[in-house]
């Protein structure tokens, strides 16, 4: 396993993930090209995910997720619910941006 890879956090069957660093210019280090006019990781699409301790919460993927900009938050009891919350907030953001 490479130095930039992490194993899925306590979730059996989760594939290794590669975490690519991103520069302030919005691209991976070593890649040429102009900086993006819009950031590839915009702050309005950022979330904080807090996982509870499995022995206390009763599962590996139990916790809370909060949208950084709006403060909208929700608790989740499994990975499917976490993904549903993330997708719902992102869908709402996309709908709002199309209305503007």
Would you kindly state where each structural domain of the chain is located, as residue ranges?
1-35, 42-100
pTM: 0.59
71 token code pair: 């403060």
Closest CA to 85 of 49, 43, 40, 44: 49
Closest CA to 20 of 34, 37, 5: 5
pLDDT tens for the chain, 100 residues: list them. 444 444 444 444 333 444 445 555 555 555 555 555 788 999 999 999 999 887 776 777 899 999 999 999 999 999 999 999 999 999 998 998 888 7
Q: Provide the H-helix boundaries in 1-100.
A: 54-57, 79-99
30: Cβ contacts below 8 Å, ≥ 6 apart = none
Task: Classify burial at 3, counting beta carbons within 10 Å of its beta carbon; exposed 0-12, middle 13-18, buried 19 or more.
Answer: exposed
Locus of tokens 């280090």: 29
51 token code pair: 């996982």
Distance CA 41, CA 44 (A): 9
């Amino acid at each position: 396993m490479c130095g930039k890879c992490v194993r899925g956090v306590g979730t059996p069957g989760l594939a290794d993930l590669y975490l690519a660093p991103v520069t302030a210019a919005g691209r991976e280090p070593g890649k040429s090209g102009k900086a993006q006019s819009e950031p590839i990781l915009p702050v309005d699409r950022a979330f904080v995910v807090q996982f509870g301790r499995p022995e206390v919460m009763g599962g590996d993927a139990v916790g809370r997720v909060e949208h950084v900009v709006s403060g909208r938050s929700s608790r989740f009891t499994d990975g499917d619910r976490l993904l549903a919350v993330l997708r719902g907030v992102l869908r709402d953001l996309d709908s709002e941006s199309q209305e503007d």
